[in-house]
Amino acid sequence: MAEAGDENLYAAARDIARALGKDPSAAGDILQILSGYGASGNRGGDPRPTPSRGGGANLNFDRSLNSLERQISGYIVEDRPIWSDPVDSRTFLDSVDELIAMAGDLRSMAGDQSVAVCQSRADDLIQQVMFRLQEEFGYVMDRAPDTFDSDDDFSGEEDNDTNYGVIIARPVTDYKIVIEALESSVIGDLNAIAVRMVAGGFGKECSRVYSSRRREFLEESLSRLHLRGLSMEEVQETPWQDLEDEIDRWIKAVTLVFRVFFPSERLLCDRVFSDLPVSSVTDLSFMEVCRGTTTQLLNFADAIALGSRLPERLFKVMDLYEAMQDLIPKMETLFSDRYCLPLRHEAVAIHKRLGEAIRGIFMELENLIRRDPPKTAFPGGGIHPITRYVMNYLRAACKSRQSLEQILDQTGDEAGPDTSPLSVQLTWVLELLESNLEGKKRTYRDPSLCFLFMMNNGKYILDKVTDNELGSVLGEDWIVKHAAKLKQYHSSYRRSSWNQVVGLLRTEGPYPKLVENLRLFKSQFDEVCKVQSQWVVTDLQLREELRSSVNGIVSPAYENFIRRLKESPEINGRRGEPFIAYTVEDLEVRIKGLFKETSS
């Protein structure tokens, strides 16, 4: 009787469908409504069968499952996207909700063999539904660019190009923005699908579709920043000059990615996968979206860290280090979940390797100074190129003082309470430089030129550390000590160049002896002036100090000598002009001709 009643009920549903002008296949939908009424025609509560033991439960589940199959199957085989019609999408989701709820009821009766077949059928239907929802999820994401205008949310240079239907982010300089990548209605559709897919046990599949689409957005956006995407091997083979340009682009890209792109992607993930019972799908999706871009960026930095330690690479490697230093806190916030933890750890590890590379570069700088041989004497005793190189290098390095203090502090060097690791490092480099210069000065045969060479280079070193960050790192004691060395070089130069010459003017003796000394003085003075007029003193202040110092010992001695010569009783009233080639003023003019500014 019950089966006959069911048949009559289904026939009635068919007749109602025809009367409403619908396809007879819609009878299943109407049947579902009618089956909820009892013999008295009153509507029951939940249209799903109430779980109970026995064959009646099996019959109820079977009937309801048949109805759901008829409703859902039409959507599953439909060629056009379900989400192209809002009414269809809502109806389909309602059916999916009933199916998932029924499957839950069936699982709660897993021990009842009478419902085992229904449970298997429900699981099979759920799987078909999930595959279709997966396709629909992709469809909704793919159609998003058709309704999203990047001009609304992303400022930059004018360019409306898209590739493969993917909106491409534009270059920006304001990092306090959020990219609204998808419209709210699209996010709502995606969330509705995601909730059902997670409920149906297809959370990972949903995450996979989502992350693949968002990765395309990031990859295309990153390509707009003109990063070449070099492999580790290609980085090692690329000329450093080209890599310097790539590093500049990398810093801009990584800053934009971690301050704009990734925070926007995190917000989008949270909205698409909201209302889920667990956060794992959200976190997994975000990690999958970010992993490829993060790995590409980190691999480049790692390749630089593992590359050559040539001293000229310091400043760009420092730029990389400081860029990552600034972004590590942002990474710790963005990559705080367990799925992103490996990315965060890798970023921290590469940051440390960049620090190791910088310490290695300083070691290579030390080796470069040691290896610079004396070879031949540097022309004119001027400032040696190695001095210019090292001092400009150290001065530029101190612009990153805070970072270098942190990097060098990891070496374990024991610095005193009033010194820093950077101070210890730079003092050691300067000691190596001075030792190298001491070796170079021995290439000069003239002792006076040795001291002039050390004075020139010492003055250059002192000037480079005065009133700047380098001097602050080295400290006042170092500057005072070095200034004292300059005075010693000055005294040694004057003594070796002029003591013997001036000594001829200070001797006592008879008139013929004085005349002979005057002749010898003129000869030696002319020779010294001739030679030292070709020596180089680049610094104007030092040049004037040296000339004044020489004049201060030569002119008074000469003036006193000439007076004694003229006062000699043996001159017999003669003025002595034939014996005196220079006046005091003539000597001063010759002394002003000592040294030149450059060796050219």
pLDDT tens readout for residues 586-597:
999 999 999 998
Tell me how far apart the 2 most distant CA atoms of the chain are, in Å: 167
Predicted confidence (pLDDT) at residue 156 exceeds the cutoff of 60: no
Helix 341-371 and helix 401-408: axis angle, to 10°? Answer: 90
Predicted confidence (pLDDT) at residue 167 exceeds the cutoff of 60: no
Looking at the structure, tell me whether residues 271 and 349 fall in a common domain: yes
Q: What is the pLDDT of residue 567?
A: 78
**Rounded CA gap, 600 and 598, in Å?**
5
Contact between 156 and 140 (Cβ < 8 Å) = no
In-domain check, residue 496: no
Looking at the structure, tell me whether residues 340 and 327 fall in a common domain: yes
Q: What is the radius of gyration, based on Cα positions, of the chain?
A: 45
Predicted confidence (pLDDT) at residue 368 exceeds the cutoff of 90: yes
Predicted confidence (pLDDT) at residue 376 exceeds the cutoff of 90: no
Mean pLDDT of 137-152: 65
In-domain check, residue 92: yes
Mean pLDDT of 177-203: 90
Looking at the structure, tell me whether residues 345 and 467 fall in a common domain: no
Q: What is the pLDDT of residue 416?
A: 52
Predicted confidence (pLDDT) at residue 307 exceeds the cutoff of 70: yes
Q: What is the overall mean pLDDT for the chain?
A: 83
pLDDT confidence of 407, banded at 50, 70, 90? Answer: very high
Predicted confidence (pLDDT) at residue 170 exceeds the cutoff of 70: no
**Span 310-338, pLDDT tens digits:** 999 999 999 999 999 999 999 999 999 99
Looking at the structure, tell me whether residues 139 and 152 fall in a common domain: no
Contact between 49 and 60 (Cβ < 8 Å) = yes
In-domain check, residue 491: no
**Rounded CA gap, 301 and 303, in Å?**
5
pTM: 0.78
pLDDT confidence of 85, banded at 50, 70, 90? Answer: very high
The count of structural domains within the chain is: 4
Task: Render the burial of 546-561: b for 16+ CB within 10 Å, e for the rest.
Answer: bbebbbebbeebbeeb
Burial class (CB in 10 A: 0-12, 13-18, 19+), 371: exposed
Looking at the structure, tell me whether residues 458 and 548 fall in a common domain: no
Mean pLDDT of 500-511: 87
Q: What is the pLDDT of residue 1?
A: 43
- Among 94, 98, 17, smallest CA distance to 61 is for 98
**Rounded CA gap, 436 and 391, in Å?**
14
**Rounded CA gap, 13 and 154, in Å?**
55
Looking at the structure, tell me whether residues 321 and 251 fall in a common domain: yes
Q: What is the pLDDT of residue 113?
A: 66
Mean pLDDT of 546-570: 89
**Span 429-441, pLDDT tens digits:** 999 999 999 999 9
Predicted confidence (pLDDT) at residue 188 exceeds the cutoff of 60: yes
Predicted confidence (pLDDT) at residue 13 exceeds the cutoff of 50: no
Contact between 297 and 257 (Cβ < 8 Å) = yes
Looking at the structure, tell me whether residues 269 and 189 fall in a common domain: yes
**Rounded CA gap, 37 and 101, in Å?**
20
Mean pLDDT of 47-51: 50
In-domain check, residue 486: no
**Rounded CA gap, 477 and 457, in Å?**
19
pLDDT confidence of 250, banded at 50, 70, 90? Answer: very high
Q: What is the pLDDT of residue 467?
A: 86
Q: What is the pLDDT of residue 54?
A: 47
In-domain check, residue 492: no
All residues at 6 or more sequence positions from 174 whose CB lies less than 8 Å from its CB, including other chains: 155
Q: Which of 144, 178, 206 is the last residue of a domain?
A: 144
Looking at the structure, tell me whether residues 222 and 140 fall in a common domain: no
Mean pLDDT of 523-534: 95
For 135-139, 155-159, 334-338, which range has the lowest pLDDT when averaged over its residues?
155-159
For 236-245, 276-285, 301-310, which range has the lowest pLDDT when averaged over its residues?
276-285
- CATH no. for residue 274? 1.20.1280.170
- Among 354, 349, 356, 350, smallest CA distance to 410 is for 356
Predicted confidence (pLDDT) at residue 58 exceeds the cutoff of 70: no
Residue with tokens 């400290």: 475
* Greater model confidence, 309 or 416: 309
Looking at the structure, tell me whether residues 269 and 154 fall in a common domain: yes
- Among 84, 5, 58, 71, smallest CA distance to 32 is for 71
Q: What is the pLDDT of residue 110?
A: 66
pLDDT confidence of 173, banded at 50, 70, 90? Answer: low
Looking at the structure, tell me whether residues 172 and 281 fall in a common domain: yes
Query: In the 8-state DSSP scheme, what is residue 43?
Result: B
Q: Is 175 strand, coil or helix?
A: coil
Q: How far apart are the first and last CA of the chain?
A: 120
pLDDT confidence of 191, banded at 50, 70, 90? Answer: very high
In-domain check, residue 434: yes
**Tokens encoding 50:** 């109430």
| CB atoms inside a 10 Å sphere around CB 596 | 17
Whether the CA torsion 177, 182, 185, 187 is positive or negative: it is: negative
Mean pLDDT of 94-112: 80
Looking at the structure, tell me whether residues 549 and 451 fall in a common domain: no
In-domain check, residue 164: yes
Predicted confidence (pLDDT) at residue 152 exceeds the cutoff of 60: no
Q: Which of 94, 114, 144 is the last residue of a domain?
A: 144
Q: What is the pLDDT of residue 174?
A: 54
Looking at the structure, tell me whether residues 396 and 412 fall in a common domain: yes
In-domain check, residue 253: yes
Phi, psi of 338 (to 5 degrees): -70, -25
Q: Which of 311, 326, 358 is the last residue of a domain?
A: 358
**Rounded CA gap, 479 and 466, in Å?**
8
Q: What is the pLDDT of residue 426?
A: 96
Q: What is the pLDDT of residue 417?
A: 53
Highest mean pLDDT among 33-47, 133-147, 472-486: 472-486
Dihedral in degrees, nearest 10, Cα atoms 11, 16, 18, 24: -50
**Tokens encoding 373:** 């041989």
Predicted confidence (pLDDT) at residue 81 exceeds the cutoff of 80: yes
Contact between 227 and 243 (Cβ < 8 Å) = no
Contact between 254 and 323 (Cβ < 8 Å) = yes
* Greater model confidence, 162 or 380: 380
* Greater model confidence, 270 or 512: 270
Q: What is the pLDDT of residue 103?
A: 79
* Greater model confidence, 165 or 374: 374
Predicted confidence (pLDDT) at residue 24 exceeds the cutoff of 90: no
Domain containing 270: what range? 148-358
Task: List the beta bridge partners of residue 596.
Answer: 536
